[in-house]
């Protein structure tokens, strides 16, 4: 295939230039002024920008991927690789997950971390509300060894969630050392994004320093009023850590609101604590801006804010939050747990801007195929719309670098994220003037505009609609190189 006449923005950060790109099989063969042979199919891309496909370093687009293999939420925003196994939870064992994906591939490539919480659950079971013993940590390490051997990128943690929240720093360091032995890395939804933020950053950096592996902050945010305006301090800490040899990076999504569980608002895990509920609804988010994204115990409440539910029930917002959690934690008829989620506004734009401008920050979606947060369909186009076209905070070339080669480097993926001979032909053809997200909290599944065509491993998967092709591959960690 010859893609002719596009402005090629190759992912390196270097200036875009008009060139032809020759794709042979799954790979990029040549870039330059090229002539088509009779065997080539030719794509006329004049007036458009050709970039490497976006690499989403923190994705939940694997949920339901086996039944929705076209992954329209992701590919319609130009994502060609998702990195899953995030927030401490991964498919287990990964060898089976990778085997299923290889047998029934999706439209996009999938790489995975090993979830620390998954290891904890395997060894501690229901008895997880405590520190692990040395023997248990060794057992977790043995499981991790196997998962790393299966090709995981490293260890992920979700330290605001069960069961990771009960782990000690030493447990994490011990396991990170196992990942490091395999040339892996550590990625973390940190222990706090609000009340205990600075200690959480310190913990992540200590893990990087002591276990001697690259560490990445997942979906970085300063999510509490008293933290607002302090992104500069965070960047200062990260820069000093880098200068001292810690390979720290971060990913960030371009929204001031997150989506998580209601229980994440209670770091001390007492879900009846009125003072904690009040604090969450005044300092972390607000009754008006905390909106139920999912609420299985009573689906009529989905889309309503805590303030609206409180008004309906005639209870105050803190009591309402406590009641909502209590109902969701009741045993579900037929077994299992009720699902629930909340979309909470907790961040301010200037902090996100500061994080985005840090040269080691790449972009992630944190999105899902059928989620309630608009990031599932919109994160990457929104990043380009806001930061390149509307606010001119990044050049197009730099924005492409953040979503491609830097993303690949930050999670240890090789041979993707650049348009250069020998790289995989994961490509996105952009109409940059039209590139925009359309998804909103009210309509989270609206596909973006400006994504003209998406190829994965040289195969067209999206051209305004999914093509039905499923050429995605499993991406395993490359063998560690000597340093
Ligand atoms: Zn997370």
CB-count burial class (<10 Å; 0-12, 13-18, 19+) for 160: buried
Peptide bond into 163 cis (omega under 30): yes
Is residue 481 over pLDDT 50?
A: no
* Ligand 1: centre distance to CA 358 (Å): 20
Whether the predicted pLDDT of 323 surpasses 90: yes
Average pLDDT, the chain: 97
Identify the pLDDT of residue 276: 97
pLDDT band at 98 (very low <50, low <70, confident <90, very high): very high
| Confidence at 17, pLDDT banded by 50, 70, 90 | very high
* 146 CB-near residues (< 8 Å, 6+ apart): 93, 95
* Residue pLDDT, tens place only, 120-153: 999 999 999 999 999 999 999 999 999 999 999 9
Distance 378 CA to ligand 1 centre (A): 17
Query: Does 185 have pLDDT greater than 60?
Result: yes
Query: Three-state DSSP class for 201?
Result: helix
Here the tokens at position 446 are 């609206």
Segment 84-92 shows an average pLDDT of: 98
Alpha helices in 182-268 (DSSP H): 197-211, 231-243
Residue in 395, 396, 393 with CA at minimum distance from that of residue 49: 396
Decide the pairing of beta strands 257-260 and 340-345: antiparallel
DSSP element (H, E) containing 320: helix 317-329
Phi then psi for residue 249, to 5 deg, are -140, 180
Sheet of strand 215-217, all strands in order from the earlier edge strand to the far edge: 114-115, 154-158, 185-189, 215-217, 248-252, 361-363
Cα of 350 vs centre of ligand 1, distance in Å, is 21
**Looking at residue 482, what is its pLDDT?**
39
User: Would the pTM of this model clear 0.85, i.e. be above it?
Assistant: yes
**Ligand 1 centroid – CA 94 distance (Å):** 20
| Beta carbons within 8 Å of 416's beta carbon, 6+ residues apart | 52, 53, 55, 80, 81, 109, 408, 423, 424, 426, 475
- Residue 171 confidence (pLDDT): 98
Tell me how far the alpha carbon of residue 346 lies from the centroid of ligand 1, in angstroms.
14
Q: What is the distance in A from the centroid of ligand 1 to the CA of 160?
A: 8
Q: Could you tell me the distance, in angstroms and rounded to a whole number, from the CA of residue 221 to the centre of ligand 1?
A: 11
- Mean pLDDT value across residues 85-107: 98
315 CA distance to ligand 1 middle (Å): 30
Provide the pairing of β-strand 215-217 with 185-189.
Answer: parallel
- The DSSP secondary structure of 465-480, one letter per residue, reads SB-------B-PPPPP
Say if residue 40's pLDDT is above 90: no
Ligand 1 centre to CA of 159 (Å) is 9
Closest-CA residue to 81 (of 51, 64, 102, 59):
59
| pLDDT of 451 | 98
**Cα angle at 268 between 267 and 272, to 5 degrees?**
105
Q: Are 156 and 176 in contact (CB under 8 A)?
A: no
The percent helix, strand, coil of the chain (3-state, each to 5) is 35, 20, 45
- Over residues 38-66, the mean pLDDT reads 96
Which pLDDT value is given to residue 36?
84
Q: What percent of the chain has pLDDT over 70?
A: 99
For ligand 1, the distance from its centroid to the CA atom of residue 79, given in whole angstroms, is: 19
User: Which pLDDT band holds residue 219 (cuts at 50, 70, 90)?
Assistant: very high
- How far, in Å, CA of 308 to CA of 18, rounded? 53
> Ligand 1 centre and the CA of 87: distance in Å?
5
Q: Is the pLDDT of residue 416 over 60?
A: yes
Distance 281 CA to ligand 1 centre (A): 20
Decide: 120 and 94 in contact? Cβ < 8 Å.
no
Report the C-alpha gap between 295 and 330 in whole angstroms: 13
Give 201-205 contacts, CB < 8 A, sequence gap 24+. 201/234, 201/237, 201/238, 203/159, 203/169, 203/172, 204/248, 205/237, 205/241, 205/246, 205/248
How far, in Å, from the CA of 460 to the mean position of ligand 1? 31
Closest CA to 144 of 184, 103, 204: 184
Asked if 241 contacts 210 with a C-beta cutoff of 8 angstroms, the reply is no
Task: Give, as one character, the DSSP assignment of residue 53.
Answer: P
Residue 282: CA count within 13 A, CB half-sphere:
8
Cα atoms in the 13 Å half-sphere on the side-chain side of 420: 12
Nearest CA among 444, 411, 471 for reference residue 58: 411
Does residue 393 register a pLDDT over 80? Answer: yes
Q: Where residue 62 falls among pLDDT bands split at 50, 70, 90?
A: very high
Per-residue pLDDT, 483 = 35
- The confidence score (pLDDT) of residue 479 equals 63
Structure tokens at 351: 């902090």
CA–CA distance, 29 with 290 (Å, rounded to integer): 49
Q: What is the mean pLDDT of residues 316-329?
A: 98
Cα(204)–Cα(330) distance, integer angstroms: 34
User: Residue 412: is its pLDDT beyond 80?
Assistant: yes
Q: Which residues contact 112 (CB under 8 A, 6 or more apart)?
A: 83, 84, 85, 90, 91, 94, 97, 98, 152, 153
**CA nearest 21: which of 425, 450, 463, 459?**
425
CA of 376 to the centre of ligand 1 (A): 14
Distance 190 CA to ligand 1 centre (A): 8
Give 463 Cα–ligand 1 centroid separation in angstroms: 31
- pLDDT value of residue 232: 98
CA of 413 to the centre of ligand 1 (A): 20
Report in angstroms the alpha-carbon separations of 195 from 38, 199, 226, 228, 267.
63, 9, 9, 12, 8
Distance of CA 58 to the CA centre of its chain: 2
d(CA 189, ligand 1 centre) in Å:
5
Q: With 80 as the cut, is the pLDDT of residue 386 above it? A: yes
Q: Does residue 480 carry a pLDDT above 60?
A: no
């Amino acid at each position: 295939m010859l893609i002719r006449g596009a402005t090629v923005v190759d992912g390196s950060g270097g200036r875009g230039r008009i060139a032809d790109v020759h794709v042979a099989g799954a790979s990029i063969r040549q870039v330059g002024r090229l002539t088509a042979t009779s065997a080539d199919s030719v794509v006329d891309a004049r007036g458009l920008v050709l970039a490497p496909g976006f690499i989403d370093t923190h994705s939940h687009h694997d949920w339901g991927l086996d039944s929705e293999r076209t992954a329209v939420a992701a590919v319609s925003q130009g994502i060609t690789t998702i990195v899953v196994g995030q927030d401490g939870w991964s498919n287990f064992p990964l060898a089976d997950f990778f085997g299923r994906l290889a047998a029934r591939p999706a439209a996009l490539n999938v790489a995975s971390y090993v979830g620390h919480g998954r290891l904890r659950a395997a060894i501690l079971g229901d008895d997880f509300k405590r520190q692990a013993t040395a023997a248990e940590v060794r057992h977790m390490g043995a499981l991790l060894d196997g998962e790393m051997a299966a090709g995981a990128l490293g260890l992920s943690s979700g330290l605001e969630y069960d069961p990771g929240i009960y782990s000690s720093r030493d447990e994490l360091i011990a396991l990170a050392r196992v990942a490091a032995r395999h040339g892996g890395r550590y990625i973390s939804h940190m222990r706090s994004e609000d009340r205990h933020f600075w200690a959480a950053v310190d913990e992540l950096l200590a893990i990087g320093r002591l276990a001697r592996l690259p560490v990445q902050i997942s979906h970085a945010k300063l999510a509490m009023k008293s933290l607002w305006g302090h992104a500069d301090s965070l960047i200062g800490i990260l820069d000093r850590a880098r200068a001292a040899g810690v390979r720290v990076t971060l990913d960030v999504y371009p929204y001031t609101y997150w989506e998580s569980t209601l229980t994440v608002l209670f770091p001390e895990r007492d879900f009846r604590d009125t003072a904690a509920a009040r604090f969450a609804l005044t300092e972390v988010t607000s009754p008006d801006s905390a909106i139920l994204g999912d609420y299985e115990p009573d689906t009529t409440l989905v889309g309503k804010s805590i303030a609206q539910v409180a008004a309906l029930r005639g209870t105050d917002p803190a009591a309402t939050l406590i009641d909502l959690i209590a109902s969701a934690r009741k045993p579900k008829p037929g077994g299992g747990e009720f699902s629930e989620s909340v979309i909470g506004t907790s961040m301010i734009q200037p902090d996100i801007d500061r994080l985005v401008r840090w040269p080691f920050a790449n972009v992630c979606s944190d999105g899902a195929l059928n989620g309630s947060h608009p990031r599932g369909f919109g994160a990457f186009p929104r990043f380009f719309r806001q930061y390149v076209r509307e606010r001119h905070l990044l050049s197009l070339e730099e924005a492409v670098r953040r979503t491609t080669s830097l993303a690949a480097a930050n999670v240890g993926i090789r041979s993707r994220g650049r348009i250069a001979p020998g790289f995989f032909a994961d490509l996105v053809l952009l109409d940059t003037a039209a590139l925009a997200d359309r998804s909103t909290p009210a309509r989270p599944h609206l596909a973006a505009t400006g994504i003209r065509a998406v190829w994965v491993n040289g195969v067209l998967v999206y051209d305004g609609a999914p093509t039905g092709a499923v050429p995605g591959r499993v991406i395993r960690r490359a063998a560690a190189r000597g340093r």
